[in-house]
Chain A
Amino acid sequence: MPETVIKVENLVKKFGSFVANDHLTFEVYKGEIFGFLGANGAGKTTALRILSGLLEPTSGKVIVAGFDASKQPEMIKKHIGYMCQRFSLYEDLTVKENIMLYGGIYGMSTTLIKQKTAELLDRLRFGEYGDRLIAGLPLGLRQKLAFAVAVIHEPEIVFLDEPTGGVDPVTRRQFWEMIYETASRGITVFVTTHYMDEAEYCDRVSIMSEGRIVALDTPENLKKQYNAKTIEEVFIRIARPLYGGMGQGAWGMGQRAESGERRE
């Protein structure tokens, strides 16, 4: 039995009467790449925020890196890395200054940060960019750098919220190589994505719809179970009854998704 780093039991998050997360239960194991899929407004971001200690769950048990999300969010924050959809480095700081800032925030010593920076720039073949401002770098490089910075302090888990949005296919490929490399070092990767081909790269995938997890397994098993060739097909098959069968409720769904977005 692999070691569990995230354990979620009956997690419920309500915003007023709106239920963003409806009794979620799942586990994530050490060193795995866990894909977290779902349509917009399905409750992914809310769950991600609870797991990263930003939001308090309404009820249920959430243990991340051995700490309770409702009681010790500050401890969780020290043991995770986070990279959000929107670009998270400071454009008016150089590459090195950004690394120094985040390393410092996570309590790393200056010598350690310098050593890590050199390693990182070398590994990414970023050597010449060290003293350049982020503003002048192409988006692909920035995203890779943002990821590298998110794991600079060797967290137990790194949360990636749609990390490859707007990135070209070649860079996406390289980005996923970085994710593999990170997971092989024993860092658990928890990733949300819109790209279904990326879901195929994950060790296990969960699919959320309307605040509930409707499927959770390895990509192979999911494809077998739903008799589909790709995860995309699986996703559409799971999502379709919900979208299609709504009839007059379609409008209500849209509204709900919208209010979910606003709260996120």
Chain B
Amino acid sequence: MKRFLGFVKKEFIHIFRDYRTLIILFGLPAVEILIFGFVVRTDINDAGVAILDLSKDETTQKLTDKILSSGFFKKTDDLLNYNDIDRIFKKGHTRAVIVFEEDFGARLIKEGKATVSIIADASEPNVATLVSNYASAIISGFNREMNSTLLSAAPVVMPEVRMYFNPSLKSHFMFVPGVITLIMILICALMTSVTITREKEFGTMEVLLVSPLKPVQIILGKVTPYFLLSFINIITILVLSWFVFGLPVKGSIVLLMLETMLYILMSLTIGIFISTVSKTMQQAIFISAIGLLLPTILLSGFIFPIENMPKIYDYVSSILPPRYFIVIIKNIMIKGTGFMYVWKETLIIALMTVLFMVFSIKKFSLRLQ
């Protein structure tokens, strides 16, 4: 045990003396959370909107006010005619133009219907979709109010949409769990694989193997510091996302921590596995980055929903552990569900952990033969 502790202490020294390791370990997660949280957004805030009001009556004024006071839009300009639309889009600050037809208010009262067009700048399709959805929602709301006040038109079926679990459609809800999933697998796997291959490259591994330390002790000694530090990391990320984005953990924190520990453990075993198949640090970094980073971002359901993927990608994604952890962490953090809802995913991750461990031990002892 004393042998082992001395070895763990050495690993901590390695980590704390190398500022690059420290940056990757603690800087990266914080930066990623902040970048994903503030920069990459799928919700809209103060999107520029221009108004082309050809009617200029009380109703159009009311609807315009309603759109602008929603907080999602801010007015960039008042347009005079259709020719201005092209010009204002080219200027770039305007995401959409709201066009009220002539005699909007009068028609609404006389004919019971009037047309408002939403013209969105679709050079950025995602933003255009969001903007038009938000605007339509506001207009529908306005419609309902009108119906109840005017009572002139025949009853209409109006859908009332409610976004459950995330009423204001905040993108942090999607990114925080995703970033945790991504960061943990990347850091744990990368760090452990690099630290083990480093010993191989420098020749110190040979000395360790000749020493009375057992291979199991060497591996455990390598991963223990990273396990502890990753755990501290998770807590940092959660606290950060709570204070900065106001994202609380709805479900049991204890359950979340336990699941996270399991996931960290699995990521570490992947790291060990990578180190047994790579000879140099560069190889290890390469495998971790290409083999883990890209699939996790693209295929795990972190950003792009798995349901929308062609079947073949769905199969590929089903061997990626992050796919399951994202489900677990979203369930616990956002829906607040208990273990009963995530046991299947938990079991899969546990099995993967065992699998990688068996592989690594086999590989590790094979190398010695």
| Nearest CB in chain A: distance from B193 CB, A | 18
Contact with B along A65-86 (1 / 0, CB 8 A): 0000000001001101011111
The smallest C-beta distance from A56 to any residue of chain B, in angstroms, reads 7
Shortest CB distance B211–A (Å): 5
Shortest Cβ distance from B18 into A: residue = A92
Main SS of chain B's interface residues? helix
When the two chains form the complex, which single residue of A56, A80, A83, A87 contacts B202, counting CB atoms closer than 8 Å? A87
Total A-B pairs, Cβ < 8 A: 73
Given A84-B203, A105-B6, A107-B3: A92 and B211 within 8 A (CB)? Answer: no
The listed residue (B9, B18, B207) touching A82 by CB distance below 8 A is B207
Task: Say whether A106 contacts B206, CB under 8 Å.
Answer: no
Within 8 Å CB of A101, what residues of B? 6-7, 9-10
Tell whether, in the assembled complex, residue A92 and residue B17 are in contact, meaning their CB atoms are under 8 Å apart: yes
Q: What 1/0 mask marks residues of chain B from 210 to 239 whose CB sits below 8 Å from any chain A CB?
A: 111110000000000000000000000000
In the complex the two chains form, is B212's CB within 8 Å of A88's CB?
A: no
Interface size on B, residues (CB 8 A): 25
Supposing A54-B209, A77-B212, A105-B3 touch, asked if A93 and B368 sit within 8 A by C-beta, the answer is no
Q: Is A154 an interface residue (CB 8 A)?
A: no
Bound-state CA distance A89–B204 (Å) is 7
**B18 near A54 (CB under 8 angstroms)?**
no
Interface residues in B127-177 (C-beta closer than 8 Å to A): none
- In the assembled complex, B31 has its CB within 8 A of some CB on chain A: no
Decide if B62 is an interface residue (CB 8 Å cutoff). no
Chain A residues positioned under 8 Å from B206 (CB to CB):
54, 82, 84, 86, 88
Question: In this assembly, does B2 line the interface, its C-beta being within 8 Å of a C-beta of chain A?
Answer: yes
With contact pairs A55-B369, A90-B10, A97-B10 given, residues A106 and B212 touching in the complex (Cβ less than 8 Å): yes
Whether A107 contacts B2 in the complex (CB less than 8 A), given A86-B202, A87-B203, A88-B206, comes out as yes
Q: How far is the CB of A142 from chain B (nearest CB, A)?
A: 12
* Residues in A whose Cβ lies below 8 Å from that of B290: none
Question: Are B13 and A92 in contact, with the CB atoms below 8 A?
Answer: yes
Whether the pair B213, A105 counts as a contact (CB closer than 8 A) is: yes
Residues of A within 8 A of B2 (CB): 104, 107
1/0 per residue B294-326: CB within 8 Å of A? Answer: 000000000000000000000000000000000
For the complex, give the distance between the alpha carbons of A56 and B17 in Å. Answer: 37
Given known A-B contacts A55-B368, A90-B10, A92-B13, A105 and B204 have beta carbons under 8 A apart: no
Chain B's closest residue to A84 (CB) is: B206
B14 within 8 A of partner (CB): yes
Q: Name the residue on A nearest B9 (C-beta).
A: A101
Interface residues of A in 91-150 (CB under 8 A from B): 91-93, 97, 100-102, 104-107
| Chain B contacts for A102, CB-based, 8 A | 211
CB neighbours (8 Å) of A182 from chain B are none
Contact A105 B209 (CB under 8 A): no
The answer to whether the Cβ of A206 comes within 8 Å of any Cβ in the partner chain is: no
Asked if A52 is at the interface (CB within 8 A of a chain B CB), the reply is: yes
In the assembled complex, A53 has its CB within 8 A of some CB on chain B: yes
Contact between chains at B212 and A107 (CB < 8 Å): yes
Kindly report which residue of chain A lies nearest to residue B13, judged by CB atoms. A93
Q: Closest residue of chain A to B206, judged by CB?
A: A84
Least CB separation from B208: chain A residue = A105
- How far does the alpha carbon of A100 sit from the alpha carbon of B7 in the complex, in Å? 10
17 A-B interface contacts by CB (under 8 A): A56-B369, A77-B211, A84-B203, A85-B203, A87-B203, A88-B207, A93-B10, A97-B13, A101-B7, A101-B9, A104-B5, A105-B3, A105-B7, A105-B208, A105-B211, A106-B211, A107-B2
Closest 3 CB pairs of A and B: A86-B203, A104-B6, A82-B210
Assuming A52-B210, A88-B204, A90-B10, what are 18 further A-B pairs, CB within 8 angstroms?
A: A53-B210, A54-B368, A80-B210, A82-B207, A82-B210, A84-B206, A89-B204, A90-B14, A90-B204, A93-B14, A97-B13, A101-B6, A102-B211, A104-B2, A105-B211, A105-B213, A106-B211, A107-B212
Q: Which residues of B contact A (CB under 8 A)?
A: 2-3, 5-7, 9-10, 13-14, 17-18, 202-204, 206-214, 368-369
